[in-house]
Each structure stands twice: as structure tokens, then as C-alpha cells.
A and B are shown apart, each in its own frame.
Chain A
Amino acid sequence: MSISREEIVKGLVNILGEEQVITDEEVLKESSNDRYRKYEQCYNVYTQPIPAAVVYVKSTEQVASVLEFADKEHINVVPRTGHSAIEGGLETALENSIVLDGSQMNKVIDVNKTNMQVTCQCGVPLQDLEDSLREQGLTTGHSPQSKPLAQMGGLVATRSIGQFSTLYGGIEDMIVGMEAVFPGGKVCRIKNVPRRSVGPDIRHIIMGNEGALCFITEVTVKMFKYQPENNIFLGYKIKDMDKGFEALREVMIEGYKPSVARLYDLQDAAMNFDWADDQNVLLFMAEGAAAITKATADAIDEIVKKVEGVTPVDPKLIEKWFDHLNWGPEQIAQEKEEILATDNIGITTEISGCWDCIGKIYASTVERIKNEVPDLTMIGGHSSHSYINGTNMYFVYYYNVVDCRPEDEMNKYHNLINRIICEEAIKYGGSIAHHHGLGKARAHYVFEEYGSSFYMLETLKKAFDPNGIMNMGTLIPINYNKENPWNF
């Protein structure tokens, strides 16, 4: 039995002092969810248990003290940094949770230009870090759409990926070492080396843990030379979506590494590009050293032009479009205004699959959503991260919320669409989440996703969090309704 709400706050104040322990009602409400429930957020409706406190930590020692206290008293802790999560990972699913916020741990500790790696505290905003590095002719190569909001700890915790991933990789390819605090207050550091062969790569226990195993306090990521003057953009209209997948695959298996390789279906293309003319759109960006960039762009152009039904477009259209891809506070405010005015809401869900199934996942998912979801105004998607063996699919969907209270929107629409997407991904052998994380929303499908390897995830959870205090409900659902898993 956990202690009372008042005792939790008192205990936290004893550790951190009053200034770092926030109990303001509005802050607590806003901290009870994330953008998975953006429709509820628009209407200031809060359906999740309101946390006991939001605490702003300033050092690893403070994180350790809070986790020691929480573990001893069996209090649920929800770690966060930039508050940009979109899969319910930041929902406080249990009564009297503590939201452990690392956004004030925002120092860049070391920019090591010899070893080309930068070490930061968890609360360093990626946008600030990237802007500062670019001024020095460097880049992390990490540029997710959430860059204006996301911070380094959260980016590692969710196994994030950026728009230039085809060249630089996901965060798992960038991370060098890190520091994390486990329940009970145990601090673990993984040193910075180029590679190691010393048993399992334990960085992968921390990466993607989504706050369900530990709190990430410090990360070291690689740096690269920033040479935007060499960037080359390519764009094409393509009549057939399957041929688009084929073009992406050809580029990948021929060994070329554009930083961006995207394929938009015609619905998503129509929303993004006036010039799409009811066709799908393929676009690429090559970057890096001048000679490599030119060779990459020339080869991609040659490969793509051989694919049936392709028409090249002015590269400037692609270059200019890229300038406005990221989402910051302004876009979120604008989106809220539009949702309130129209009750039309847009959401994305991403999955991945190998080349032999991604087309099937895409086609069957779109068909099912069209047939099964009411009040749909758009369903489409794009592939934005490709690999030698497959690619992702980023489903984009909009619907009108009709005859429905804000608190009922989730089960009437959003969870229904998510379920279809996950079922089709599983059915054809793909993964239900490519880079947003499982959060609490897709945790309900974790058993089907992991299959027999769920044993390993469950064992990790039991070993590192035996008292069940770390972000309960994330990765592994708390109350799993086998008959009706998507009503929660």
C-alpha cells in the first residue's frame, strides 16, 4: 500500500525543496497525459489519474534520491523531458504518480571534436544542441519532426529516429554511451567507446525503455561534419505505389545512402504537394562530402528514372518543402485552434516491414480503415525511413469527431484505427511501432509483437523494476483486456 498524496509531496519536498516540487492543479492535469490524447487536451478534459506532483530534478543525485524514495514507498514514476510523446507514454496511469521531469538538466557537458562525440544532460533540447553544433560546422544528424520540442533523454528513451536516418541511422546508431538511474537509486554509466565486444550490448536495455526501466540522465552521441552547401534534392511523381516501393528498394540494395528517401501515397502527396497531380511522390536528399553527394544523387536519379511511370520534378520544390517539416509550439497551437473550430483531427501511426510485406501492410490497412472507421476524412501515408531489408510506413489519417464527447473520442476512433494498423502489421510480419515507441496505447499489442521473446522483456521489467514503480502501463499494459484489448 502506497503512502498518501500529501505524504508523497512532503517526502519529495524533503528531498528537493519546495521550489522543485510542483503541485499546481493545472500543471498536474497537463502532466497526466501526452499528445496521444490531443483531442481531450483541446477540450481540457482529463481522464487519467492526476499525478501527486511534478518534480524538476537538477542532478543525477537528485534523480537517484527520488527513485530511492519512490521505490521504497511503491509510488509510480513517469519520467519525461520534452513532453513531446504521442503514444501515451507520459500518461500517469496510476493514482498519485510522480512525474519526474529532467528538462532542467540541460547542460551540454562536452563537445569532443577529436572523437566527434557530444555529451549532454537529458534535458538538452535537440534544437538548441543542433543549432549550436551547426554554428561550429557539426551536426548530430538527428532531426525528428519533434526537434523543436524533444530533448535528448526522451529521444533515447523512445528509440527515436530523424528525417535524415537513411544516412545517419536512428538514435541507436548515434548513441555512444550514457548514464541512467534505476529504481532504488542505482546509477549506471556506460562508457564512450567506438565499439565493444564484452557481452550483450547493454545500451539497448536503456535505449527504448520508455521510462519503464530507468531514468536516462546523460547521453553521448556521435557528431558529423555539417555541409549543407553540398545538399542535392531530387523529386519524382510516380503513378504506382508498388513501383514506388520498388524504387526505394533498388536505391537501398544498390548500396546508396541518401539522407532522405521518402515515398508518399497519392492521398498524402495531395496534402503535401500541389504539383502531385493525383500521383504518388518519391523524394530524396543526398548530403555529406561533395563527391559522395554528387555520386549518390546521380546514381539515385539513374535508378529511379528506370522505374516505370516516373516523372521528375523541379528539385527546388523538394528543397523548399523541407523547410517547413518540423513541428514546434506554433504548429501545435494552430492545430488546436483548427480542431476546436472543425472537430476534424489528424493523427499518425508508424509501423515497419520488410520489402516483401510492406506493400501488403499498406494496402490492406488503408482498405480496412476506409471500410471500418466512421467519419473518416483522409487516410494515406508515406514511407520515410528505408533500410537494406525494408522500410517503414507512416499512416496519416484524419476524421471528424461526430456525436461524441471528448472523452469518448479515443475508443470510437483513435484506438480503432490503431488496432487496425497493428493487426495488419502483425498479420503480415511487420512491427507495430517504427519510432514513436509503444507508449501505453500500443502496449496492448506487445504480446503479439514480441511473441516468444516477450519472456525477455518481462524478465527485464521484473529484474530492474521489481516493485513496479517505473512508468507502469508503458511497454506492458497494466490491465490487459484479452476480449477487447483496445478499449482502455
Chain B
Amino acid sequence: MIKVLNSFKSVPDLDKMPAADWAAGAESGQIDTSYLKSIINCYDESALELTLRFNDKAVSEGLDCFLGAVTAGDRIAEKTLKTLAALGFAGTDRIVSGEELTFRPELTASSLLTYARKKGPWDMIVMGVQSADGCNKKIPFLVAEGLGMTCISQVVNFVPEGDKACRVTYMRDGARCEEVVELPLLLAVGDVPSTYLRVPTLKQRLATKMQVIGQYDAAAGPAEFNESTLQKVELIDQTRAGALIDGMDAAEKAEKLYRDYLKGVMN
């Protein structure tokens, strides 16, 4: 049996944020996203759908898979866990933390790592390469390092190669690469356009209604990584000077532009 763990995050749907609220946030230094509806982080959504396709392929080849899903979000993420249960994720857990995890990749990775160890071992761990709000791109690498797993990022597809390996397609410097990698493996899924999580039917939901959403206490595990500490915040000066060029006609203005502004900086 191939054991696959998916980690995902619910994030505020920033596309629904009015321009005026961004502007107000820029002035106050505090963007209020509390009233926005949550969605699955887009990279995680791709990762989840690719995992289900992996499972479909495995089943069609006579292989058994166990799919687990975990999130380190607030209670709203349980809606997604219920959806995933209906789609065939037999393990559905939420890591409960008293700490704010956004912008704290080391703390989040520690929680995931402890959870993965407790519920593992896993043949594959799959997650988005980054979240839409944190954007640190560190978590997959930290978890892989902690578990001693091979990590491939910017993954765009993966299919089973028997029960001991996986054919992984990923992007490197704009090129599409493919290779067969032995398990265990951590895959960080990148940009896979038009990959949306499939939708379970009401009957599928009803069939898994009793599946328990497990809660795992993040404080139960040790801190695995030292957190980066913010030392200083400095505004980047992006102001630019401007000048109006006077002249009798376009030729004279072009001459001044060349002589006074361009000549010195052109080769």
C-alpha cells in the first residue's frame, strides 16, 4: 500500500478584497482579511487534485493507496476536510495550535513534521509549494529535511511507477522535466493551471458523514527549527525624479533628451 499525506492550508480569498481596503491597509500597515471567505490555497488545491488522479491511476493498476489529509488552520478548514473525506481521503486531521502560524514557516513546519512522524511513515507527502498569504516557500523543504525525504519542487504531475517509485514531472528554469524517483518522496506542487479539486456528490458526502475529523495538538511536539526573527523593516525608496524638456520643436527636444539625459548612460 502506498501511503500519501496531503497538507493544505485555507487562505482568505484575496481576489475578493476591494481596492479601497488594500489602500486603507497600506496606510494603516494592517490588511484586514477577517471578513473574506476562505478558499483552499491554489497550489494546495492542485496538489490535492493531482493526488486524487494519482490514486485513480494506482487503483486502475491494481495498487492500493491510503490517502491522508492534514491542515494547520482554524476550524473553517474542517469544511475542506469533510469534502476530502467524501473524495476518498481516509485520514482527515486538523492540527490545532494556539499560536498564529501565518508568516511563521518554521513553527508550521515543526507542527507538520511532528504530525507526519506520529501518523507515518509516509511513502509520499504532497503539498503546495507555497501559500497565497505566507508566500515563504520554505515549508516543504523544512519538512523534507526533518523527515530525511527527497524533495522535488515545482511539481506539475506525478503518477505511480509500481508501489516503490513515482514518475514526477516538474518545472526547472522554464523547462518541463520528468524522472522516476524512488519513494519516500516529498512533492511540492507548483503552478498547474486549470487544476481544480473535483466536487463530491451528495451521496459521497452522506457516505462519509460519520468520518471523524481528528484534532492534533501542535503543542505536543518539540520545536524542530529555530524561527527567523524580524530585525528591521525599512521602506524601499522607489521615488523617481521627473523633468519637462523644453524646445521649439520635436527635433530640439530630442537633441536635449539625448545630450542631457541619455548620452551619459548609453554605451
Main secondary structure of the interface of B (DSSP, over half): loop
Q: Contact at A344–B35, with CB atoms within 8 Å?
A: no
Complex A-B: 23 CB contacts under 8 Å: A272-B37, A273-B37, A316-B35, A317-B35, A320-B18, A321-B37, A323-B16, A323-B18, A341-B195, A342-B197, A342-B198, A375-B201, A376-B201, A376-B202, A376-B203, A377-B200, A377-B202, A378-B202, A379-B202, A399-B201, A400-B198, A400-B199, A400-B201
For B194, list chain A residues within 8 Å (CB). 337, 340-341
Nearest to A373 among chain B residues (CB) is B202
Instruction: Report the Cα distance A273→B79, complex, angstroms.
Output: 12
Q: Contact at B199–A274, with CB atoms within 8 Å?
A: no
Q: Contact at A270–B79, with CB atoms within 8 Å?
A: yes
Instruction: Report the Cα distance A273→B18, complex, angstroms.
Output: 17
For A270, list chain B residues within 8 Å (CB). 79
Q: 1/0 per residue A313-343: CB within 8 Å of B?
A: 0101100110110000000000001101110
Output the least CB separation between A138 and chain B (Å). 22
A-B contact count (CB 8 A): 47
Q: Contact at A274–B38, with CB atoms within 8 Å?
A: yes
Interface residues of A in 400-451 (CB under 8 A from B): 400
Q: A340-B194, A400-B201 are in contact. List 14 more A-B contacts (CB 8 A).
A: A272-B37, A314-B35, A320-B36, A321-B35, A323-B18, A324-B16, A341-B194, A344-B199, A370-B202, A377-B202, A379-B202, A398-B199, A399-B201, A400-B199
Instruction: Report the Cα distance A271→B21, complex, angstroms.
Output: 23
Q: Which residues of A contact B (CB under 8 A)?
A: 270, 272-274, 314, 316-317, 320-321, 323-324, 337-338, 340-342, 344, 370, 375-379, 398-400
Q: Does B196 count as interface, using CB distance less than 8 angstroms?
A: yes
Instruction: Report the Cα distance A420→B21, complex, angstroms.
Output: 43
Instruction: Report the Cα distance A316→B34, complex, angstroms.
Output: 10
For A375, list chain B residues within 8 Å (CB). 201
Nearest to B36 among chain A residues (CB) is A320
For B21, list chain A residues within 8 Å (CB). 320
Q: How many residues of B contact A (CB 8 A)?
A: 19
Q: Contact at A341–B196, with CB atoms within 8 Å?
A: yes
For A341, list chain B residues within 8 Å (CB). 194-196
For B201, list chain A residues within 8 Å (CB). 375-377, 399-400
For A273, list chain B residues within 8 Å (CB). 37
Q: Does B207 count as interface, using CB distance less than 8 angstroms?
A: no
For B202, list chain A residues within 8 Å (CB). 370, 376-379
Q: Does B59 count as interface, using CB distance less than 8 angstroms?
A: no
For B36, list chain A residues within 8 Å (CB). 320
Output the least CB separation between B35 and chain A (Å). 5
Q: 1/0 per residue B182-219: CB within 8 Å of A?
A: 00000000000011111111110000000000000000
Nearest to B21 among chain A residues (CB) is A320
Contact of B196 among A274, A338, A379, A400 (CB under 8 A): A338
Q: Does B76 count as interface, using CB distance less than 8 angstroms?
A: yes
Instruction: Report the Cα distance A158→B76, complex, angstroms.
Output: 40
Instruction: Report the Cα distance A272→B37, complex, angstroms.
Output: 8
Output the least CB separation between A420 and chain B (Å). 15
Instruction: Report the Cα distance A122→B89, complex, angstroms.
Output: 53
Output the least CB separation between B28 and chain A (Å). 15
Q: Contact at B199–A342, with CB atoms within 8 Å?
A: yes
Interface residues of B in 201-245 (CB under 8 A from A): 201-203
Output the least CB separation between A324 and chain B (Å). 5
Nearest to B83 among chain A residues (CB) is A377
Instruction: Report the Cα distance A392→B18, complex, angstroms.
Output: 30
Instruction: Report the Cα distance A316→B43, complex, angstroms.
Output: 29
For A379, list chain B residues within 8 Å (CB). 202
